[in-house]
Amino acid sequence: MDYLSYEIRGDVAIIGLNRPAKRNAISDAFIEELADAIRRAEREAKAGVIHGHGPHFCAGLDLAEHVSKTPFEGVHGSRRWHEVFGWIQRGKLPWFAALHGAVVGGGLELASCAHVRVADRSAFFALPEGQRGIFVGGGASVRTARLMGVARMTDMMLTGRAVDVDTAERWNLVQYVVDEGEALNKAIDLAAHAATNAEISTYAIIHALPRIQDMGVDDGLFVESFIASFTATSPEAEERLNAFLQKKAGKVTRPGGADG
């Protein structure tokens, strides 16, 4: 692999963006490697982590390659990003992004596909497309806007504003903030935990929740009732529910508490 590292740890696939000299900028060949790695992870793991090697998570689209593309090649490139990133967001695995340094442009679009984002204190977030004379093309208008809201995204794109981790957490771009250098470990821990969940519940969580969010209230509640019933009557649910009732499964514990 030229642009990625790939490792399996237990049930977790760990994909590292590995083009640090170019700040992990994503070229056409890079996206094809990512496509293969995601499919491989779906065969070999129950959860996945994406992180970046070098000083930054990802500088987004490879601008050197992009500058010589025709408009239609640009459309095809964008559509390929959509396809591959869609396998992350609505594929078979829960994905955890470990973020540090620059998480900008297409790098933020990639991070926005993950189901959980962990950022260390070095991370910063920006959408410099407006300043480059282009537009987002890796799904940010759909995914990133849903995370932080259109008003904030409009501000970031119009003004070139970069935001730090605390702002990103307040804006719902990241769920966990950790000390510098700790994002990958935290993301792996969370992914390992998610890998122990019932496969059907994980699938429902990552596929049903974003769809229901886009539905009206009545439709959402109706769909929810069927998914709830379908998952609850699975053999895995029966086993897990009985394990709890027989006191063989862990209780819910207080955050940070010592009682469980």
By CB under 6 A, name the binding residues for ligand 1HE.
Answer: 22-23, 25, 55-56, 59-64, 78, 81, 102, 104-106, 128-129, 132, 134, 136-138
**Residue (91 or 107) nearer to ligand 1HE, CB:** 107
Under DSSP, is residue 216 helix (H, G, I), strand (E, B) or coil?
coil
**Residue (94 or 138) nearer to ligand 1HE, CB:** 138
Q: What token pair was written down for 38?
A: 């995601």
Smallest gap from residue 210 Cβ to ligand 1HE (A): 20
What is the rounded CA–CA span in Å between residue 8 and residue 239? 28
Smallest gap from residue 25 Cβ to ligand 1HE (A): 3
Smallest gap from residue 170 Cβ to ligand 1HE (A): 22
Closest of 186, 206, 200 to residue 233, by C-alpha = 200
**Adjacent-strand bridge partners of 95:** 48
**Residue (46 or 109) nearer to ligand 1HE, CB:** 109
State yes or no: is 44 an active-site residue: no
197-201: list long-range contacts, CB under 8 Å, 24+ apart.
Answer: 198/231, 198/234, 198/236, 198/237, 198/240, 199/46, 199/236, 200/230, 200/231, 200/234, 200/236, 200/237, 201/231, 201/237
Smallest gap from residue 88 Cβ to ligand 1HE (A): 14
Smallest gap from residue 17 Cβ to ligand 1HE (A): 12
Catalytic residue (one of 129, 199, 224, 239): 129
Catalytic residue (one of 109, 199, 224, 239): 109
State yes or no: is 129 an active-site residue: yes
Closest of 182, 181, 185, 161 to residue 171, by C-alpha = 161
Under DSSP, is residue 61 helix (H, G, I), strand (E, B) or coil?
strand
Closest of 53, 65, 140, 67 to residue 104, by C-alpha = 140
What is the rounded CA–CA span in Å between residue 50 and residue 184? 8
Question: How many CB atoms sit inside 10 A of residue 171's CB?
Answer: 16
Under DSSP, is residue 120 helix (H, G, I), strand (E, B) or coil?
strand
**Residue (99 or 102) nearer to ligand 1HE, CB:** 102
**Residue (20 or 149) nearer to ligand 1HE, CB:** 20
Smallest gap from residue 23 Cβ to ligand 1HE (A): 4
**Residue (56 or 186) nearer to ligand 1HE, CB:** 56
Catalytic residues: 109, 129
